[in-house]
Amino acid sequence: MKAERCAGKLPKSFLQPCLLLMLQEQPGYGYDLVVRLKALGIDEDPASVYRALRTLERNHAVSSYWYTSSTGPARHMYRITPGGLDRLQAAVQGAAETHLAIERYLCRYALTQAGPPDPDDRVCSGSERPGRPARSEAVRNATA
């Protein structure tokens, strides 16, 4: 029997926080953001990015303005708002909590591959691991 494979896809709602992060780094226009997202490993089609930007703008998380230059066409630029910064922080907190849950899940799975559990072993208990704290450095930094 062939084993089912779960696709390792990102959550649907992950695009908006990623855009907020990109815009926190620096303002950008649609195609620029598509390229910058690819550097994060997020390969979204431009139409999805523009829809997400419009939704973020409707929700007052980003604002937009027209940028004109003498060397190219006018561009619809986006920048993060104070409300967008709040949403980004909430998304980071949620992602950190999800990351911790996934770490625990993977650790417990690894234990099932290693043989029967030792009741005195606190590895992967969620509170501590030998030689390493329960929360990864990234999770601690994101929630600090």
**What does the pLDDT read at residue 127?**
46
Q: pTM higher than 0.75, yes or no?
A: no
**What does the pLDDT read at residue 123?**
54
Q: What is the pLDDT along the chain (144 residues), one digit of tens a residue?
A: 455 555 557 777 899 999 999 999 999 999 999 999 999 889 999 999 999 999 999 999 999 999 988 888 889 999 999 999 999 999 999 999 999 999 999 998 888 887 665 665 555 655 444 444 444 555 455 555
**What does the pLDDT read at residue 116?**
64
Residue with tokens 């600090």: 144
- Alpha-carbon distances, residue 129 vs 41, 48, 118, 133 (angstroms): 30, 41, 14, 6
**What does the pLDDT read at residue 70?**
85
Contact 54/76 with Cβ under 8 angstroms? no
CATH 1.10.10.10 domain span(s) along the chain: 11-80
**What does the pLDDT read at residue 132?**
42
Task: Tell me, letter by letter, the H, E, C secondary structure of the chain.
Answer: CCCCCCCCCCCHHHHHHHHHHHHHHCCEEHHHHHHHHHHCCCCCCHHHHHHHHHHHHHCCCEEEEEECCCCCCCEEEEEECHHHHHHHHHHHHHHHHHHHHHHHHHHHHHHHHHCCCCCCCCCCCCCEECCEECCCHHHHHHHC
**What does the pLDDT read at residue 15?**
95
Query: 11-80 sits in which CATH class?
Result: mainly alpha
**What does the pLDDT read at residue 6?**
53
